[in-house]
Amino acid sequence: MKQEIHEAAAIVNTAMKQGRVFLNSRDEKDNTMIIGWGGVLQFWSKPVFLAPVRLSRYTHGPIAKTGYFTVSVPKEGELSGAAAFCGARSGRDFDKFKECNLTAVAGRSVPVPVIGECGLHIECRVLQRQELDLDQLDEDNRSRYYADGDTHTLFMGEILECYTT
């Protein structure tokens, strides 16, 4: 079923505040992580998902290399254990899909899976990526979030598919 973008944006924004938005990538293996920043927006007359990923995260490499990512959002109250695990452990060290019994389902339009146990899925092709310039960031946020210099790359992905299962 096709999900309206504005409805998806509301679901994503609520889920992000609750730490239950999975950002999925694929390179040598399927991987997922939890994101707490970003969301759905309109840019260049297109629906776009903004996915900030720290340079140090395992997920960064596959998205930068392939140019694709997906987002999966479970229904409220579901997959809280998987979200906690995936938000606290690196894909370098764990096969998160296996550890959390998550089903990798082929994306409809991109070569990256969605999580079968989730209800909302967004498939994206990267249009633009930009490393955050700490020199242009206000001092409060720079010292609060980037004292170690580990910045985010802002991946702006055109939403190719948005649907519920």
Tokens linked to 158: 């055109």
Kindly report, residue by residue over 8-54, the tens digit of the pLDDT.
899 999 999 999 999 999 998 999 999 999 999 999 999 999 999 99
Q: What is the pLDDT of residue 5?
A: 79
Q: Which residues contact 30 (CB under 8 A, 6 or more apart)?
A: 24, 97, 104, 112, 113
CB atoms within 10 A of CB 49: 27
Task: Evaluate whether 161 touches 107 at the Cβ level (below 8 Å).
Answer: yes
pTM of the predicted model as reported, rounded to 2 decimal places? 0.95
Kindly report, residue by residue over 65-106, the tens digit of the pLDDT.
999 999 999 999 999 999 999 999 999 999 999 999 999 999
Tally the residues of the chain: 165
Q: Which residues contact 104 (CB under 8 A, 6 or more apart)?
A: 30, 97, 113, 114, 115, 116
Q: What is the pLDDT of residue 7?
A: 87
